[in-house]
Amino acid sequence: MAEQKGDREQTLPLTRNVLQLFTYLEDAAQIKIDIRRYPWRRVLHNGENGEGLIFGIYKTPERLKLFHFSEPVYSDKVWLVSRCEDNLQFNSIQDLKAKRIGIVQGSSAGSEFDSQVNILFKAEYNTSSLAGRFLKLYQKRMDAFLLYEPRTNLKEVQKELNQLYAAELDEYKKKKTDVFCILPRPVSVIDAYFALSLKADRNTLDLIDKVLIQAKKSGELDRIFAK
């Protein structure tokens, strides 16, 4: 799965939701999950070569030619993060015309957005370092960047991100008001999956699917990703 880097290039810990999901799957499917985290392009490369399951991947026409996909695990919302002072508005993809938008290479934000990369708007390609993306945004090297976040309490998420990534900025220290804003309308809502190379034996994926189907029926998946 993808790594996420902090302000000192350290790998950030997995979220509580993901840890709960993996524990639940291990218990219910009687499997052992060995977590390996890499930059996203390497995740895709390793997965295509049959080196294990990918977690948190979206379906695209190209990926359907390479991977088996599980049942949907959760829905990820793709948000735009901008500088609050810019008062950027987003109601449709046309609002991004001529803007520079931060994207992690190899990622997807839905077919409509993907089809307009470097056509309607310019892509600023980023690494897995979230701190690096916030720095670029603050330095006005891009107008906004994509944030993948399943939680819907945007006020809480925005407060958390400013505490983490604006804490050392003078304007944040003085005013104590948010420097970075999450725009209230998501770019897209995309189902996230486990995936496995078409060349690989899908027995483990079938086991996971059985658990996911039951967890959806019982409401356990909703409970795990409730916040």
Question: Would you give the end-to-end CA distance of the chain in angstroms?
Answer: 21
Task: With a cut of 90, say whether residue 28 has pLDDT above it.
Answer: yes
Q: Which helix (H) or strand (E) holds 199?
A: none
Q: Are residues 34 and 48 in the same domain?
A: yes
Q: Are residues 56 and 96 in the same domain?
A: no
Collapsed DSSP state (helix, strand, coil) of residue 143: coil
Q: By the 8 A CB rule, do 209 and 216 touch? A: no
Task: With a cut of 80, say whether residue 99 has pLDDT above it.
Answer: yes
Predicted confidence band of residue 164 (pLDDT cuts 50, 70, 90): confident
Q: Are residues 168 and 140 in the same domain?
A: yes
Give the Cα separation of 177 and 124 in Å (integer): 27
Higher pLDDT: 149 or 94? It is 94
Q: What is the mean pLDDT of residues 2-27?
A: 86
Q: By the 8 A CB rule, do 185 and 95 touch? A: no
Give the Cα separation of 1 and 38 in Å (integer): 7
Q: By the 8 A CB rule, do 27 and 215 touch? A: no
168 located within any domain: yes
Give the Cα separation of 130 and 161 in Å (integer): 10
Collapsed DSSP state (helix, strand, coil) of residue 65: coil
Q: Are residues 158 and 216 in the same domain?
A: no
Q: What's the confidence (pLDDT) of residue 154?
A: 87
Predicted confidence band of residue 104 (pLDDT cuts 50, 70, 90): confident
What are the pLDDT digits (tens) for 64-78?
999 999 999 988 889
Tell whether the torsion through CA atoms of 33, 74, 71 and 36 is positive or negative: negative
Q: Are residues 199 and 144 in the same domain?
A: no
Residue 94's Cβ-count burial label (10 Å; 0-12, 13-18, 19+) is: exposed
Give the Cα separation of 90 and 215 in Å (integer): 35
Q: Are residues 47 and 126 in the same domain?
A: no
Q: What is the mean pLDDT of residues 40-50?
A: 94
Higher pLDDT: 170 or 71? It is 71
Q: What's the confidence (pLDDT) of residue 115?
A: 94
Predicted confidence band of residue 7 (pLDDT cuts 50, 70, 90): low
Predicted confidence band of residue 197 (pLDDT cuts 50, 70, 90): very high
Domains identified in the chain, total number: 2
Predicted TM-score (pTM) of the model is 0.74
What's 147's domain CATH number?
3.40.190.10
Kindly state the tokens that stand for 30: 């009687």
